[in-house]
Amino acid sequence: MPPNKQALRDKQMSQTTTIYHNPNCSKSKATLEILTKKKESLDVINYLDTPPDNEALESILTMLGLAPRELMRSWEAIYTELNLADESLSRSDLITAMLENPILIERPIVIKNGKATIGRPPESVIDIL
């Protein structure tokens, strides 16, 4: 397995809980608080500053069992500006839009032991711990 794929796989199977976090989002802050109270070993990624790369986003989508558009915040202005509701856009087009505009990615995303969930509601993260 190439080193970057192995590193991603190791991270997914790690005892560390990863949260793709937006510190300005109330649901994200509430989810982080739950994880902190559970004394989880955390890797907090401010995804607006450090968005996932293509491989990580594909992996997240697979773990969540979602298509790209299902992980998108369709009410964000940029969604409309980029015409992302256009059904002719490919999976690759949608992923590229999220990578270039991480505000489009639903949050918070929590990953532990090869499982992922979206912290909406925040308490839903308890299911994968």
**71 to each of 3, 10, 59, 87, 117, how far by Cα in Å?**
27, 23, 13, 15, 11
Catalytic positions, written as ranges: 25
C-alpha span between 89 and 115 (Å, rounded): 28
